Amino acid sequence: MIHDGVKQSIQDLVVFIKGYQLELEALQGLTPSSYVPKKEFWTPPISYQIKLNYDALFNKTTSRSISSVIARNENGKILAACTYPRYNVANAFMAEARAYEQEITFGHVLGFRSIVVEGDSLTVTKKLHNVNPDKSVLGPIIQDIKRKVRGFDYINFAYVGRLANNAAHTLARCEFWPSKPQFWIEEAPTEVELVANQDGQKWVSRSAE
């Protein structure tokens, strides 16, 4: 079959159609103003909460993805971070959902009880806020995430723009597709720490305005 002048297999076309369907579902029922994230910069959580930012990169050619998670407290201090590679990933939407799932698992392992979860995936965030069963290809992952969040005392899902999620995005990009999971406690790669420090400085500057 031909799409945009490129010969594709039936399986490739099915993946494309399902991905396009997920994108339409994410936009359905939203007003134009809903497309714009409420926050354009990172903000710290309140004192008793931990903020987890996540991101995912997807390589269509190799069907690989890498998810990243960074946990920070009310002072902007990095408590922990991780990257997690996956193989045989169908599309970018699946990569984002798996990244969200990994983030929740990461929070459980670290013993966090009250968390705020932020990422720039509108599709996944919208599905997690939907109380109805998800019948898309992401359904099983969404269901698993909803089951896991019951273990927290408090959790809030939020969709933010790339600028508010820059530390997690930098973490995903700086690891160069590792073959195994990577973990950091109270630190992160130098590039990520620089971005996290910039996030804190921007927050202080805006708070002083």
Q: What is the pLDDT of residue 11?
A: 52
**Under 8 Å between Cβ of 75 and 117:** no
The fraction of the chain above a pLDDT of 70, given in percent, is 79
Q: Does residue 8 have a pLDDT over 70?
A: no
Which pLDDT belongs to residue 30? 40
Q: What pLDDT is attached to residue 184?
A: 96
At the fourth CATH level, which superfamily is domain 50-208?
Ribonuclease H-like superfamily/Ribonuclease H (3.30.420.10)
Tell me what pLDDT residue 174 has: 84
67 token code pair: 């998810």
Q: Which residue has the higher pLDDT, 179 or 72?
A: 72
SS3 content of the chain, % helix, strand, coil (to 5): 45, 25, 35
Query: Taking the CA atoms of the chain, what radius of gyration do you get in angstroms?
Result: 17
Top-confidence residue, 28 or 89: 89
Number of neighbours of residue 168 by Cβ within 10 angstroms: 30
Separation CA 174–CA 187 (nearest Å): 14
User: According to CATH, where is 3.30.420.10 located in the chain?
Assistant: 50-208
Q: Please tell me the predicted confidence (pLDDT) of residue 209.
A: 64
Q: What is the pLDDT of residue 40?
A: 78
Predicted TM-score of the model (pTM) = 0.80
- Mean pLDDT for all residues in the chain: 83
**Residue 205: pLDDT band with limits 50, 70, 90:** confident
Higher-confidence residue: 65 or 30? 65
Contact of 171 with 192, CB cutoff 8 Å: yes
